Amino acid sequence: GQNIDQPTEMTATEGAIVQINCTYQTSGFNGLFWYQQHAGEAPTFLSYNVLDGLEEKGRFSSFLSRSKGYSYLLLKELQMKDSASYLCAVRDRYGGATNKLIFGTGTLLAVQP
Amino acid sequence: GAGVSQSPRYKVTKRGQDVALRCDPISGHVSLYWYRQALGQGPEFLTYFNYEAQQDKSGLPNDRFSAERPEGSISTLTIQRTEQRDSAMYRCASSLNAGEQYFGPGTRLTVT
């Protein structure tokens, strides 16, 4: 079966650091993506991990452990504009095609002053 | 450059009518995807194309849903005999190859 779990909501303070966790159990795995989605807008790509370890990209970092089926997104120096839903997605396999994304329900992050 | 565009942005239709939703991907993007997103949920995969070939349609809910991409660029998602449960945001995405997917603004479908 396909299962991706992430917390429904989180709250953090402006300037702080927040970690959003994602665990997955999927029939196939070919990479894990994080997307940001502001209310009423389209999801936008943040990061991609296919190998174990940490990928850093400015204020955002993402970590992957394939053996544990676990990833996290780390947001540093939080700003009010970071208030959004953060979606974890696993790229599955389907026969020889590998581009299908399976999304979690998203974590709604509220950044408070 | 221009991103993924979708039309119409909003569609209200009566139950039983057919609707066609259009997606214009980023120029040069090989792969095109259709997702459906309910409020407060992540996008749910429907189908995807490489060029004009439909590689995976395992997410289409039933045979009322179909999609095509005849020339490997613009795609149409068609829902026949719409039902109220089809009401949702329908999103299209495209990617250059197997990389990150870029999402369009979506079509909000309401079936009355």
Indicate the Cα dihedral angle B3, A97, B66, B74, nearest 10°.
30
Instruction: Give the model confidence (pLDDT) of A16-68 as tens digits.
Output: 999 999 999 988 888 999 999 999 999 999 999 999 999 999 999 999 999 99
Contacts of B31 in chain A (CB under 8 A): 99
The pLDDT-based confidence of A92 (bands split at 50, 70, 90) is: confident
The pLDDT-based confidence of A95 (bands split at 50, 70, 90) is: low
- Find the mean pLDDT for residues B29-39: 94
- Asked if the model's pLDDT at residue B62 lies above 70, the reply is yes
Q: Which residues of B touch A (CB under 8 A)?
A: 31, 33, 35, 40-45, 48, 50, 55-56, 58-59, 91, 95, 98-106
**What's the pLDDT at A113?**
95
What beta strand segments (E) does A26-100 contain?
Answer: 32-37, 44-49, 53-57, 60-65, 70-75, 84-91
Contacts of A98 in chain B (CB under 8 A): 98
> pLDDT over 90 for what percent of chain B?
89
Nearest to B103 by CA among A110, A36, A63, A11: A36
Pairing of β A3-5 and β A18-25: antiparallel
Report d(CA B101, CA B25) in Å as an integer.
11
- Find the mean pLDDT for residues B66-80: 97
**What's the pLDDT at A17?**
97
Pairing of β B10-13 and β B65-68: unpaired
**What's the pLDDT at A96?**
55
Which of A104 and A29 is assigned the larger pLDDT?
A104
Structure tokens at B64: 């009322």
- Asked if the model's pLDDT at residue B26 lies above 90, the reply is yes
